A and B are shown apart, each in its own frame.
Chain A
Amino acid sequence: MEERGMNERIRKLRKLSQETPVHIDLERAKIETEVYKEWEDKVSLPVLRALVLKEYFSKKTLYLGEGELIVGEKGCDPQASPTFPELCCHTVEDMHIMNDREVVNYKTTEQDIKDQEEIIIPFWKGKSTRDKILADMTDEWKDAYAAGMFTEFMEQRGPGHTCGGKNVFIKGYAEYKEEIQAAIDALDFMTDPEAFDKQEELKAMLIDCDAVMILGERYQKLIRETAAKETDPVRKAELEQMAANLDVVPAHKPQTFWQAIQLYWFTHLAVTTELNPWDAFSPGRLDQHLNPYYEKDVEDGILDDYKALELLECLWVKFNNQPAPVKVGVTLKESGTYTDFANINTGGIKEDGTNGVNNVSYLILDCMDEMRLVQPNSNVQISRKTPAKFLKRACEISRKGWGQPAFYNTDELVQELLNAGKTLLDARQGGSSGCVETGSWGNEAYILTGYLNIPKIFQLTLYNGFDPVSGKQIGLQTGDATEFKTYDELWNAFTKQLVHMVDIKIRGNNVIERIFANYMPAPCLSIVTNDCIKNGKDYNAGGARYNTKYIQGVGIGTITDCLSAIKYNVFDNQNFTMAELLQAMDDNYVGHEDIFNMVANKSPKYGNDDDYADDIMKDVFALYRDTVTGRPIMNGGQYHVDMLPTTCHIYFGEVIGATANGRLAHKPVSEGISPEKFADTHGPTAVIKSCAKMDHMSTGGTLLNQKFTPDAVKGEVGLENMASLIRSYFAMDGHHIQFNVFDKNVLLDAQIHPDDHKDLIVRVAGYSDYFRNLDKELQDEIINRTAQEFA
């Protein structure tokens, strides 16, 4: 494996991070179980949750790695993965599976399995939120879930994934405590019926502040002890500085660049160990938050670009040391990766709307270029005001072909957020986190609730609500499709099926939302999210300034081409009948080569700037958006839609038979808003034009993958064309675009000789991953994404 890093220190840290096997760490779960045994039913739930974090941070094994400049791990050491039995209590069988599975495995020792069996399972069995959720879902929800109509994000993870705002970089936990205490003092026990609940929530926040400060204090002592014994004077001085940093943070406002990074890292650890908020936690506009410290330190003569870059690279290693908490079942399928989706945003605009690119932005680009890690995921925000130099530097890294950075459209993001009711100031301080979903950082709980299998909903329509794959009636009986006389009849039936399925999903969501509000508060995330302290309300109970829920639509390319193929061949040109088509689909097109040929090769398809197909895409999108958007969420706020897949398009494809567009049974459906594989034949500008016909501004994020061979983007001209494509897509209000740049042969070879290509990183969906970590189908899928050759 290639060694990367700006110097020997970083190369060593990075190597350790890369080569250490991911392993299960039960220390957190065991401490949590003790706390629950002692305190459950004696204290309120928020306080109980906070006591878990405090006890863990007071007792947990500390890790101080050789050469580290930033300290703290979620578990005992790098690549340790704590478990969260309160969310999902793994069975012994789960433990074996996670250890033995070929990809995304988590090493599990015999002792782990014994502990799980003797300590964890006896206490948590039947008590986890996963158990509660499954017990409270209706039969139709369970049938639809089992059939793969949708997934459920909170099934074994907590709501999360937000970004820190400015606060995270300018406030210490002693300062938060004062703020929280003031909120307690101001509680109105005479007239406010919620005063007691608010007090308990705020008390929990106070405990969590102590927890973070205890962790800081313990590290400070450990580092001073280590420094005392250190014989190398250079390292000794470093350790002394690190200990001195911990005299300031996390209790107080940082004074230097170094301290600001260390403070963020403690907050990151606290938020992501208190619960398992899928999509981790992210620092928001890291470049803008760090820039004042950078400028001051440079002026004071205590920092230069070399040192600043080194600290950033240390932070990158820290992100990479934290695998996503282990997933099982459907949740593993929708998101099969170690990546925990921390996402660094660089560039964009400042609060006052002016260009946000600064020196730290360029250092972050250098850092991602040098480190080439799947975590943290990194992206750039490009606004009309972004200098061409920054865009081209980002393109230069992107065309190296490992999928980062992704490109986001700041101007469009601001419009999305304004459309969703944010103030201008809060909208400017927003963007994407996790994958492509949009939120106002530090101000909003914006929760992805699950993926919706839109092509499968259409498939149900063709079979009168019956699902041939699961053999069950999953949808409504909307009529025998062979009797439909017009396209409109088909469309109306599909509309009913879609609304019905969204109803089932949202009914479930509303129950799950309350389960988390009632049983799984997240006081630490609440401390750093405006206005949870002011409202005395938890992040998971609607305490944030804004509350949004998303349902992510998957397969727009596939369903568009299905509708287009039927409209074109059955209704407009009478090439064959619906009955003949359904028979061909039932037979997976074997023996129906003529019909296959027409639907696969000779029908209008999305992704070619052809209005015949693209107008259908617009109809499907508008129907989906209008069915979801604006519905109330239980904690206040509204539903919105996203168009992103992670790896769910593979799973959703597995549960669908052959479709009307010639996609064969169980093959992946289209991902993001990208066209179906092989459907786009007119090059990247046509793809971009088709995608831009969707009204991105009315979503909370869309995802577009573009693949190029290296030859296509080589040289200065290639760079300029790449930058032009991005600018043009963004001028058309595209939300996001990312590039895979490589030769197909490289990937084919990597499939046969994975060991020769250990470093090969590819963009999967809203994230990058090692090619060798992907399963065969996903590898095939990436190879097959249409390679856009330049003319």
Chain B
Amino acid sequence: MHAVTNIQKFSIHDGDGIRTTVFFKGCHLRCAWCHNPETQRFTIEMQTDTDKCTGCGRCVERCPNGAISLQRIERPRGAGKQGTETVPVAVTDRSKCTVCGKCVNACVGNYRTVVGKEYPVKELVRICLQDQMFYEDSGGGVTLSGGEVMAIDNDYLLTLVKMLDREGVDVTIDTCGEAPWENFQAILPYVHTWLYDVKVMDNDLHRQYMGLGNERILENLVRLSDSGARIYIRIPTIPEVNGTPEAMGEIIAFLKENHIDPPQINLLPYHKTGSHKYRKLGRPYPGEDLTVPTNEQMEAFVRQFNEAGYRNVRIGG
């Protein structure tokens, strides 16, 4: 079994048609711009919304480990209001928290959640098949994403894709590529499309912003392409990292050099919507200094790819 953070029905930005996207928990990269930080760690963890907490104290009473206490903190005022306020809210000492979930049921406003739930593979397949009717009319299916789905237990993943394949469900894998090649090889026959993230060719920048180098990622991409896989290339676009004509040019050169000709390329403009999630997890947001690319920049990158001979280039998922 492996923890899943979310099963998103009617997902239309993660592959073709109407899909169900399963977000697995855990990833070896630490991309500074990651807007799903709750999927980074492999372990189940506690998420608390201190911006909305009313400080009622019910969770404090229920916590068997004494991990929660009411503390006065400064936070932004409510919707439509300016400035900050200093009020008592439930603060969780994560060193004492065992993620038992008792506080979740106590929370009247649903401000506390346990992130990550383990599903026996049969149960996950059952949920993935619930929207089969919608996949068939729209040309959709199931997208396995994360986190990094290729980094989870490979036996579990193989069983999952085999079972989906047996039901005639189109499986798409959304990956950053940072996983052993054997994992790719094993599930290759059961995967219809790969959504493959490519970030930046400059390995120093890659290490700086993602915590790991890009050697294995690029190698896997080439091997996948060489084995005839259907690959959509997805490029998160951040001015500080790869949002320059030069960096994009290097990506194009790499694709050309390795004869990778994806039927679709998605340029995903960086957005700041993930920052509040870091606060809920009690972590600092590492993307504070990153900037959002302008529409003009994004359109220029599309033209750059078009001029290099790539026709189906889209902004967004």
Give the contacts of A756-791 with B (CB-CB under 8 A): 788, 790-791
Are B134 and A596 in contact, CB atoms less than 8 angstroms apart?
Answer: no
Residues of A within 8 A of B133 (CB): 689, 728, 731-732
Determine the chain A residues whose CB is within 8 A of the CB of B58 once the complex forms: 593-594
Within 8 A of A (CB), among B134-150: 134, 136-138
B12 touches A725 (CB 8 A): no
CB-CB under 8 A from A593, the residues of chain B are 56, 58, 108
CB-CB nearest in chain B for A596: B108
Instruction: Report whether A683 and B9 are in contact in the complex, using a CB–CB cutoff of 8 Å.
Output: yes
Any chain A CB within 8 A of the CB of B10? yes
SS class, residues of chain A in contact with chain B: helix
With a 10 A CB-CB cut-off, give which of B21, B110, B133 has the most chain A CB atoms.
B133
The answer to whether residues A721 and B14 also contact, given A594-B58, A732-B133, A791-B8 and a CB cut-off of 8 A, is no
B252 within 8 A of A: no
Q: Is A430 an interface residue (CB 8 A)?
A: no
| Contact A597 to B12, CB < 8 A, known contacts A727-B137, A728-B134 | no
Contacts of B137 in A (CB 8 A): 724, 727-728, 731
Residue A25 at the chain B interface, CB threshold 8 Å: no
Q: Which residues of B contact A682 (CB under 8 A)?
A: 9
For A715-756 the 0/1 string (1 means CB < 8 A from B) is 001001100110110011000000000000000000000000
Q: Is the CB of B17 within 8 A of A724?
A: yes
| B12 near A689: Cβ-Cβ < 8 Å | no
Give the contacts of A673-692 with B (CB-CB under 8 A): 682-686, 688-689
Asked if B9 and A721 sit within 8 Å, CB to CB, the answer is no
Which of A597, A721, A724, A732 sits near B108, CB closer than 8 Å? A597
| A725 and B18 contacting across the interface, CB-CB below 8 Å | yes
Q: How far is the CA of A689 from the CA of B131 in the complex (A)?
A: 8
A residues less than 8 Å from B134 (CB atoms): 685, 688, 724-725, 728
User: Chain B residues with Cβ under 8 A from A788's Cβ?
Assistant: 10
B119 to chain A, nearest CB (A): 15
Tell whether B193 is near chain A: CB-to-CB under 8 Å: no
Q: Does B106 contact A (CB under 8 A)?
A: yes
Main secondary structure of the interface of B (DSSP, over half): mixed
Whether A685 pairs with B9 at a CB distance below 8 angstroms is yes
Cross-chain contact of B12 among A602, A728, A790 (Cβ < 8 A): A790
Picked from A684, A686, A724, the residue with its CB within 8 Å of the CB of B138 is A724
Q: Beyond A596-B108, A685-B131, is A721–B56 a contact (Cβ under 8 Å)?
A: no
**A601 contacts chain B at the CB level, 8 A cutoff:** yes
Contacting residues, chain A, for B11 (C-beta < 8 A): 791
Convert B1-34 into 0s and 1s, putting 1 for each residue whose CB lies closer than 8 angstroms to a CB of A: 0000000111111100110010000000000000
B294 at the A/B interface (Cβ < 8 Å)? no
| A594, B12: Cβ atoms closer than 8 Å | no
Q: Residues of B contacting A720 with CB < 8 Å?
A: 138
Docked CA distance A683–B137 (Å): 18
> A721 and B138: CB pair below 8 A?
yes
Q: Is the CB of A685 within 8 A of B107?
A: no
Query: Considering the chains assembled together, what is the distance between the CA atoms of A683 and B8 in angstroms?
Result: 8
Number of A residues whose C-beta is below 8 Å from B?
Answer: 27
Partner among B8, B107, B136, B138 whose Cβ is within 8 Å of the Cβ of A597:
B107
Residue in B13, B17, B56, B105 whose CB lies within 8 Å of A791: B13
The answer, yes or no, to whether B130 is at the interface (CB within 8 Å) is: yes
* Beta-carbon contact of B110 and A601 below 8 Å: yes
Q: Return the CB mask of A600-636 against B: 1 if under 8 Å, else 0.
A: 0110000001000000000000000000000000000
Q: Are A683 and B105 in contact, with the CB atoms below 8 A?
A: no
Cα(A332)–Cα(B9), bound, Å: 40
> Known contacts A593-B56, A724-B137, A725-B18: does B10 contact A683 (CB below 8 Å)?
yes
Asked if A363 CB lies within 8 Å of chain B CBs, one says no
Q: Are B130 and A594 in contact (CB-based, < 8 A)? A: no
Do A791 and B138 form a contact, CB below 8 Å, given A597-B107, A724-B18?
Answer: no
Interface positions of A from 545 to 604, Cβ below 8 Å from B: 593-594, 596-598, 601-602
Question: Closest chain B residue to A610 by CB distance?
Answer: B130
Q: Which residue of A lies closest to B110 (CB)?
A: A601
Q: Please, which residue of chain A has its CB at the minimum distance from the CB of B56? A: A593
**Across-interface contacts of A594 in B (CB, < 8 A):** 58, 106, 108
The residue of chain A having its C-beta at the shortest distance from the C-beta of B17 within the complex is: A724
List, in ascending order, chain B residues with CB within 8 A of A609's CB: 9, 130
Are A684 and B10 interface neighbours, CB within 8 A? yes
Nearest B residue to A609, CB-CB: B130
Q: Which of B110, B130, B136 lies in contact with A689, CB distance below 8 A?
A: B130
Smallest CB-CB separation from A686: which chain B residue?
B9
A791-B10 in contact (CB<8A): yes
CB proximity of B59 to chain A, nearest CB, Å? 11
Q: Which residues of A contact B21 (CB under 8 A)?
A: 791
Residues of B54-82 whose CB lies within 8 A of A = 56, 58
> Which residue of the partner chain B has the closest CB to A717?
B12
User: Bound complex: CA of A689 vs CA of B127, how far in Å?
Assistant: 12
Residues of B within 8 A of A684 (CB): 10
CA A221 – CA B305 in complex, angstroms? Answer: 72
Whole-angstrom CA separation of A728 from B140 in the bound complex: 12
**Who on chain B is nearest to A724 by CB?**
B138
Within 8 A of A (CB), among B114-166: 130-131, 133-134, 136-138
> How far is B13's CA from A609's CA once the two chains are assembled, in angstroms?
22
A791 & B14 in contact (Cβ 8 Å cutoff): yes
CA distance in complex: A593, B106 (Å)? 10
**Chain A neighbourhood of B107, CB < 8 A:** 597
Per-residue 0/1 for B79-119: is the Cβ within 8 Å of any A Cβ (1 yes, 0 no)? 00000000000000000000000000111101000000000
In the complex, A628 Cα to B1 Cα: how many Å? Answer: 48
Q: Which residues of A contact B10 (CB under 8 A)?
A: 683-686, 788, 790-791
Which one of A596, A597, A721 contacts B18 once the chains associate, using CB atoms below 8 Å?
A721
**Cα–Cα, bound, A684→B9 (Å):** 8
> In whole Å, how far is B140's beta carbon from the nearest beta carbon of chain A?
8
Q: Which of A682-713 contact B (CB under 8 A)?
A: 682-686, 688-689
Q: Within the assembled complex, what's the spacing in Å between the Cα atoms of A688 and B9?
A: 12
How many angstroms from the CA of A688 to the CA of B56 in the assembled complex? 37
Assembly CA distance A728 to B12 (angstroms): 15
Separation of A601 and B138 alpha carbons in the complex (Å): 32
Cβ contacts under 8 Å, B131 to chain A: 685-686, 689
Bound CA span A662–B92, Å? 28
Interfacial chain B residues near A601, Cβ < 8 Å: 108, 110
Nearest CB of B to A35, in Å: 58
Q: Which residue of A lies closest to B58 (CB)?
A: A594
Residue of A nearest to B105 (CB): A602
Residues of B within 8 A of A725 (CB): 18, 134
Q: Please measure, in the bound complex, the distance between the C-alpha atom of A481 and the C-alpha atom of B52, giving whole angstroms.
A: 37
Give the complex CA separation of A609 and B10 in angstroms.
13
Tell me the minimal C-beta distance from B181 to chain A in angstroms: 30
- State A791–B17 Cα separation when bound (angstroms): 12
> Could you tell me the distance between the alpha carbons of A705 and B14 in the complex, rounded to whole angstroms?
26
Docked pose: A686 CA to B9 CA in angstroms? 7
B138 / chain A contacts, CB cutoff of 8 Å: 720-721, 724, 728
Q: How far is the CB of A373 from chain B (nearest CB, A)?
A: 32
Residues of B within 8 A of A602 (CB): 105
Cβ A598 vs Cβ B105 within 8 A: yes
Question: Smallest Cβ distance from A686 to chain B, in angstroms?
Answer: 5
Given A724-B17, A728-B136, 7 new contacts (CB under 8 A): A594-B106, A601-B110, A685-B131, A721-B18, A721-B138, A732-B133, A788-B10
In the assembled complex, 29 residue pairs joining A and B whose CB atoms fall closer than 8 Å, in A order, are A594-B58, A597-B108, A598-B105, A601-B108, A609-B130, A682-B9, A683-B9, A683-B10, A684-B10, A685-B130, A685-B131, A721-B12, A721-B17, A721-B138, A724-B17, A724-B18, A724-B137, A728-B18, A728-B133, A728-B134, A728-B137, A728-B138, A731-B133, A731-B137, A790-B12, A790-B13, A791-B10, A791-B12, A791-B14
B interface residue numbers (CB < 8 A to A): 8-14, 17-18, 21, 56, 58, 105-108, 110, 130-131, 133-134, 136-138
Residues of A within 8 A of B (CB): 593-594, 596-598, 601-602, 609, 682-686, 688-689, 717, 720-721, 724-725, 727-728, 731-732, 788, 790-791
> 5 closest Cβ contacts across the A-B interface?
A724-B138, A791-B11, A683-B10, A597-B108, A683-B9
